[in-house]
Amino acid sequence: MEQRFLDFADQLVNYCTAVQPGEVVIIHASDNTPIPMIGAVIQAVNQAGGSVATVWWDNEQINRMLMQQFTEHSERIHALGPLAQASAATVNIVFRGFDNMFELADVPAEQMTLASTGLGLHLRNQRIRHTRWILTRMWTPAMAQLAGMSLERFTDFFFQTVLLDYGKMSRAMNPLQKLMDRTKKVQLIGPGDTDLTFSLDGIGSVKCDGKRNIPDGEVYSAPVRDSANGVVHYNTVTVNKEGRRFEGVRFEVKGGKIVKATCDSGSQQELNRFLDTDEGARYFGEFAIGLNPYIREPIGETLFDEKIDGSFHLTPGTCYVGTPADNGNHSAIHWDIVAIQRPEYGGGKIIFDGKVIRQDGLFVLPELERLNPDRLRSRS
């Protein structure tokens, strides 16, 4: 078994989810997850004293066929088996991968909404609220193609990001989390014509240090729901959960609500239809600062792009309910769209209570400098 599989399994089981003796684990796996990778996780769980109850094997083409014929009744029946299994687990380890990122692009919007508010929502809530969980993507040829890399290069890149010293990153995040917790006003400037203000007053923050997603590397909070005003213009490609691709998404915001949404590439009609999913979809549920030192360029995959060094994302849709960053906004969508503020992407500032904390992608406050890429990549 490849050593990197064993190392990654050790990271997932002993750091990310900290499996304890006697605990029950469910492994979620897309059908392109290497079987030896699943075997490495089962071995690591057993060595930690836990047991794997089941492996859920997921296939996007089958999912597409199911979604296209869903009715409310069939969706309720579909949810029974997995939910019963999910309620017995204490840990979820989730591998997601795709051979075609746009496999679901022609599923009718009504069916996508039904699927997202049915089994998917119930399982997500069960996993997030009642278990320790970790989610990762697979290093598939489709992912490599999306990133513009050979499969060999992308695989090396993937393991570089997931085998980062997340304990060191976690310690370096503490001052930023404390600063966000006491910050009242945030201003985002650049790239493009971005100039947006909002309040964090009374909203807490959460550090993402490899205990939920991997690769990881962000600290997030959420705007007070009706406090955002101005313009945010994102400069990366984004693909929503329906598989629809957009570039240059731009929002004009008043009283917290997205009142005008445009894009440079992609269907503006589809963009606005997605934002009209429900009342909460035009308000923001998350604000996060990305800082993974090995993720530098967007590839069109949220799990990676939202962690880009020198980036932020401001997310239309639901907040993380029950966390310190719960701002009360609820929606069937949660759309992480990323803006990079490094000089080669147009630069920009993040300002907390009138003080610049990050300039052109680099933290400038002494207590935050350990989060800059040269420090996080260092072995010391």
Lowest mean pLDDT segment, chosen from 162-171, 235-244, 331-340:
235-244
315 pLDDT more than 50: yes
196 pLDDT more than 90: yes
226 pLDDT more than 90: yes
pLDDT digits (tens, 9 = 90+) for 143-161: 999 889 999 999 999 999 9
- Given this model, what pLDDT does residue 166 score? 95
Residues in Cβ contact with 3 at an 8 Å cutoff, skipping those fewer than 6 apart: none
Lowest mean pLDDT segment, chosen from 110-114, 131-135, 188-192, 284-288:
110-114
pLDDT digits (tens, 9 = 90+) for 27-86: 888 888 888 898 899 999 989 998 887 777 776 665 676 566 656 655 554 555 666 666
- Given this model, what pLDDT does residue 288 score? 98
- Given this model, what pLDDT does residue 339 score? 97
Beta strand pairing status for 91-96 and 24-30?
A: parallel
Whether the CA torsion 61, 65, 71, 75 is positive or negative: it is: negative
Q: What one-character DSSP code corresponds to residue 278?
A: S
For 221-233, what is the mean pLDDT?
A: 98
- Given this model, what pLDDT does residue 82 score? 64
250 pLDDT more than 50: yes
Higher-confidence residue of 283 and 129: namely 283
Distance CA 179, CA 175 (A): 6
Confidence of residue 273 (pLDDT cuts 50, 70, 90): very high
Beta strand pairing status for 355-359 and 362-363?
A: antiparallel
For 186-199, what is the mean pLDDT?
A: 95
- Given this model, what pLDDT does residue 77 score? 47
Lowest mean pLDDT segment, chosen from 20-34, 56-70, 215-229, 326-340:
56-70
Whether the CA torsion 339, 344, 350, 351 is positive or negative: it is: negative
> Which helix or strand (DSSP H or E) is residue 132 part of?
strand 132-137
245 pLDDT more than 70: yes
Torsion-angle region of residue 347: left (phi > 0), alpha (psi -120 to 50) or beta? left
What does pLDDT average to over the chain?
89
